[in-house]
Amino acid sequence: VRDAVAADGWVCEGNYARRTFDLRLPRADLIIWLDTPRLTCFTRVILRSALNRPRPDIPAGCTEKLDREFLTFLKYVWTFDRGHRPGIEAVRLAAGPSVPVVHLRGGQQIAEFLERLPAASEGCLE
């Protein structure tokens, strides 16, 4: 992560916030928080597992399993707001209190944000 964010331009996905915000946020210009509603996330996980379609993040031949690990993940999704959000927010405030945050709640807000972005040929966001 340290090497990745040493470059002039980069984008990082939000996982491992508590472990890497101290590396990322001091060099960040903007945080975009995709805050999909809990019920939407929960429904998507269940549908993705029930439909068991091939996914690029799962090795060939592997399938979704409705096992104990899956139930643990469902619990994580359902309790994220209460169990994990406060800790992530505390680390964000400690590591990058002055980094602006764009908080997008749901598909419509995400689509509207993307529509407002300049085309790639227009240069970087400033």
pLDDT(115) > 80: yes
The whole-number pLDDT of residue 121 equals: 56
Mean pLDDT throughout 22-49? 90
Task: Identify which of 7, 13, 16 has the alpha carbon closest to the alpha carbon of residue 91.
Answer: 16
Full-model pTM: 0.75
Mean pLDDT throughout 38-48? 89
Task: Identify which of 99, 97, 80, 96 has the alpha carbon closest to the alpha carbon of residue 23.
Answer: 96
Residue pLDDT, tens place only, 52-81: 777 777 787 777 777 888 889 899 999 999
